[in-house]
Amino acid sequence: MSEHDDSRENHRKNAVTVVKACWEHLLKNRETCLNGEDVDAIHDLRVSTRRLRAALDLFGTFCPVGDVPRAHSSIRSLTRGIGELRNLDEAILFFSRTPPGKGATGDMFAPLLLHLSDKREHEATKVRRLLKKLDTTRIEQTIDRLVTCLHEPDDGMRKDGAPTSIPAYFSGYGLHLYEDIYRHLPGALQLENAQYRHALRIAVKRWRYFLEIAAEIFKQDYEKTLELLKEYQQLLGNLNDLRVFGTLAGEVSLTPAASAMLDTMVGSLTADYLGKLAMMLDNHPIRYEFLM
């Protein structure tokens, strides 16, 4: 076997390892969540669903049409359900905090906190139902078929037109994801453009998961880039949370004092986060990186 063939086979083996690991992590976190309601476990499960979806997005093109989209749809429903639960947990923390010199916001937002707690209990029940309902057998079969497709370069279960070169495929896919980031950057710093920031956050997240997978397949070190992407993701996530908190607060009737307090808190934090985002874009822009 030539050096080129060796490298090609290693890429395939590493891709198989990544897909299997993503699935195993999801199963492990699902079991943990079924046995308890730890907030961190819920967060870990949400991340594992996203990583598996990223892997399915990447490698689904190697498989016959129909297999991967069905599994992806089931996992996406779980991600969304967990996301609602996570938003409520973060909102409860936010509205329970006491800003310095502002008095007890927990008392001021007591009716809202009661509403959020009731809603959280309802969402937790829905998430447990989703976890129990998840057809792990069918998804496991899809993962097995995907692994087979990755192992077979030219025939077998691979669909017509599937890439034969993983490096070339990754290079093109990575450029597409990176372009998404810069397509959403214009206007993201404008206060009124929350939709740009939301889209940018998703694009950054997808680029991060792509590089995490690429690092495993091509055995390259993306640590500095990944740390920077995590910072962007956190900052953009904070901005998105403020928008979500405002929506949740609109589900109950707040007193004029509580509404004013909320406006002040959200306005101050939004300005702070936007300032930090502007500084990051100036001092640490997201640069394209893909190594093999």
Nearest to 279 by CA among 189, 157, 197, 196: 189
Q: Which of 43-52, 154-163, 261-270 has the lowest mean pLDDT?
A: 154-163
Nearest to 134 by CA among 87, 63, 82: 82
pTM: 0.87
In angstroms, the CA 126 to CA 132 distance is 10
Distances (CA, A) of 59 to 7, 24, 131, 146: 18, 17, 24, 8
What do you get for the CA distance between the two ends of the chain, in Å? 20
What is the secondary structure of 80-118 as a DSSP string?
Answer: HHHHHHHHHHHHHHHHH---TTS--HHHHTHHHHHHHHH
pLDDT band at 101 (very low <50, low <70, confident <90, very high): very low
Mean pLDDT of the chain: 87
In angstroms, the CA 10 to CA 168 distance is 15
Number of Cβ within 10 Å of residue 16's Cβ equals 19
Nearest to 286 by CA among 178, 213, 210, 212: 178
Say if residue 83's pLDDT is above 80: yes
Say if residue 288's pLDDT is above 80: yes
pLDDT digits (tens, 9 = 90+) for 161-204: 667 778 888 999 999 999 999 898 888 889 889 999 999 999 99
Taking residues 70-76, report their average pLDDT: 84
Say if residue 154's pLDDT is above 60: no
